[in-house]
Amino acid sequence: MKAVGYLKSLPIDQADSLMDIEIETPVATGRDILVKVAAVSVNPVDTKVRMRAEAEGDQHKILGWDAVGEVVAVGEDTELFKVGDQVWYAGDITRQGSNSEFQLVDERIVGTKPSSLSNEEAAAMPLTAITAYELLFARLDFTPGQTDADAEAGSPKPTILIMGAAGGVGSILTQLAKKLTNATVIGTASRPESEQWVRDLGADHVINHHQPLVAQLNDLGIINVTHVISLNHTEQHFPQLVEALAPQGKLALIDDPENGLDITLLKVKSLSLHWELMYTRSMFNTWDMQKQHDLLNQISQLIDDGVIKTTLGENYGTINAENLKRAHAHIETNQAVGKVVLEGF
């Protein structure tokens, strides 16, 4: 089968940073399903893994953690899918990725593709949707469908500040927070096009993360926020985020802060820190691994019901090394608005 992989970690402008290859088609056993991949998207994790993890021996490493496709074979222990089902998923970072014609994936982290979306529209969403949903409802303990009437007596109305709201995770997070919680949603963006994107996704307010955050919040009449979700460059903004948070507030993040964070700054306000990595369940085969199957089906229903929309940005064409190199280079600029998708081999 066709695939795109690499042997050595190289800058994306190097000829062998990604290569078109031919490998054997894998066989589904156990709870694995074999998916014929129709479309994929590219995430920042693709670029990070490419530069941090070299292939083992002479076996090419295949990236890709978003896919849409058709089930063409199932393992003997599968319970959730059958041949012919249309599915979407973000995969498992410990296994070969989706930049291949066929991919093995554990059915417990796979959902049914939204029927209202094309393959390219759906491919933009699984990883970011899982991350955003887990951030809100598993890490920060919001309840889907929460209203003001559900709030504890005397508690402040939740206010969520989303740092980097125009990116892949931020684009889903903004929609979920606005549609499924009772929170006031504030997103950050630094360019006119990204600011408009965040507003179109439903944010109540948009501020610029290159300007002092607290002053901008105060100009909106917001003294502090109850929750901060930081999606990139957390170390650059950390003191300001602590200042912006209300006492007993919650800070969640997904990035890898350079040189760490001085978490003692959280103590005076009794702030809590929450990490989200959507691969945790599959990496450790956790008891609740199948929650990602359930979650993806819930997102699929929300899309088909018109509650949230795809975050597709650009289609870079066929899945091959040349187009994936262009996609990686674009992601590495940190200026992508929406998701970059590739479709077909």
Selection from 314, 335, 332, 309 nearest residue 41 by Cα: 314
Single-letter residue type at 226: T
140, 161, 238 from 260: Cα distances, Å: 22, 21, 10
Single-letter residue type at 28: A
Non-local (6+) Cβ contacts of 19 within 8 A are 4, 5, 6, 7, 60, 321
Q: Answer for the pair 175, 201: CB distance below 8 angstroms, yes or no.
A: yes
Query: What is the bridge-based pairing of β-strands 312-315 and 339-343?
Result: parallel
CA quadruple 221, 225, 228, 234: dihedral positive or negative?
positive
Q: Which two tokens stand for residue 141?
A: 């303990």
Show pLDDT as tens, one digit a residue, over the chain (345 residues): 999 999 999 999 999 999 999 999 999 999 999 999 999 999 999 999 999 998 888 899 999 999 999 999 999 999 999 999 999 999 999 999 999 999 999 999 999 999 999 999 999 999 999 999 999 999 999 999 877 767 677 778 999 999 999 888 999 999 999 999 999 999 999 899 999 999 999 999 999 999 999 999 999 999 999 999 999 899 999 999 999 999 999 999 999 998 889 999 999 999 999 999 999 999 999 999 999 999 999 999 999 999 999 888 889 999 999 999 999 999 998 777 778 999 999
Query: What is the bridge-based pairing of β-strands 184-188 and 159-163?
Result: parallel
Q: Give the whole-angstrom CA distance, residue 126 versus residue 300.
A: 10
Q: Which two tokens stand for residue 81?
A: 């899918």
Q: Answer for the pair 216, 207: CB distance below 8 angstroms, yes or no.
A: yes
**Burial tier of 334 (Cβ tally within 10 Å: 0-12, 13-18, 19+):** exposed
Q: Answer for the pair 29, 81: CB distance below 8 angstroms, yes or no.
A: no
